[in-house]
């Protein structure tokens, strides 16, 4: 299980590092100071990625090593969100000659936001990076036999959808089906993605989930193992919806189901699983 989680984190990192390269592209005309900060962040995260690859080969991690891995995961997610927002803001804008001033002012504001946010992320990255010495991440010994077996669906969450042929049509069809206006908004909708192994079902489901999740009050994407535990599935759903770890008092299925039902009353929610 440790290998699965660690590999999921390296997957998140593989999605992040190319986005740093995109942000550093000359077309964005970042100031030299911000450019240097992003390059520094890119280098820090590349180093962490190498350590994560090492962790993915370890069968059992201690508590501190798991804590470090989880911090890197959250940091990489926050960085990816940050880069996505900035590239969107810098790319977007109104069209037409009359809008040039508005576009220019917005881009100046965005670049100031980038500088401020990059400072925050750099501080977090340095803090997390310094922890790996205290937590002895370098001293982790890979388990015999190399990489722990990984569920292919976990890796599929981080595939580049652009590399999958024919995904656009089904994705847009599912998004339209699950995002229909106010008519029947309170009606339960269920969509199943079926097909042979290796066809990109998990990637498609995750792409649709990513596109529509902002429309819902609470959302969760969970992966179900080959030998599923009902309690584990419910726990993952709870953590996805609530955003925090399962409290100790919710220690059986009945309590957990009751808590979820109460929490979801009068809420729109999106639940996707693979």
* Model confidence, pTM: 0.47
pLDDT digit string, tens, across residues 216-227: 888 888 877 767
Query: Alpha-carbon distance 133 to 152, whole Å?
Result: 31
pLDDT digit string, tens, across residues 128-149: 888 776 666 666 655 544 444 4
What pLDDT score does 138 carry? 64
Contact criterion met (CB below 8 Å) for 233 and 224: yes
Give percent of the chain above pLDDT 70. 68
What pLDDT score does 144 carry? 47
| C-alpha atoms less than 13 angstroms from C-alpha of 20 in its C-beta half-sphere | 25
Both tokens of 156, joined, read 């599929």
Q: Which of 191-195, 234-238, 241-245 has the highest mean pLDDT?
A: 234-238
């Amino acid at each position: 299980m440790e290998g699965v989680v660690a590999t999921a984190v390296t997957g998140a990192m593989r999605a992040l590092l190319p986005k740093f390269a995109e942000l550093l592209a000359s077309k964005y005309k970042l100031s030299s100071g911000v450019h240097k900060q992003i390059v520094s962040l890119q280098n820090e995260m590349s180093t962490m990625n190498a350590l994560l690859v090492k962790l993915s080969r370890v069968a059992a991690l201690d508590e501190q090593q798991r804590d470090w891995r989880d911090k890197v995961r959250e940091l990489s997610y926050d960085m990816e969100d940050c880069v996505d927002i900035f590239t969107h803001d810098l790319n977007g804008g109104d069209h037409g000659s009359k809008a040039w001033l508005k576009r220019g002012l917005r881009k100046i504001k965005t670049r100031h936001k980038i500088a401020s946010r990059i400072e925050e992320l750099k501080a977090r990255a340095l803090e997390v990076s310094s922890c790996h010495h205290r937590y002895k991440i370098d001293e982790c010994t890979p388990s015999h036999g190399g990489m722990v077996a990984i569920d292919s669906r976990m890796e599929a969450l981080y595939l580049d959808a652009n590399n999958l042929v024919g995904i656009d049509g089904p994705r847009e069809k599912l998004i339209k089906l699950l995002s229909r206006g106010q008519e029947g908004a309170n009606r339960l909708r269920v969509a199943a993605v079926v097909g042979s192994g290796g066809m990109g079902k998990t990637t498609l489901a995750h792409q649709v989930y990513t596109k529509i999740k902002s429309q819902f009050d609470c959302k969760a994407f969970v992966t179900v193992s080959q030998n599923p535990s009902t309690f584990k599935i419910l726990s993952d759903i709870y953590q996805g919806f609530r955003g925090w770890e399962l409290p100790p008092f919710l220690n059986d299925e009945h309590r957990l189901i009751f808590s979820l039902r109460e929490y979801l009353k009068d809420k729109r929610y999106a639940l996707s699983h693979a």
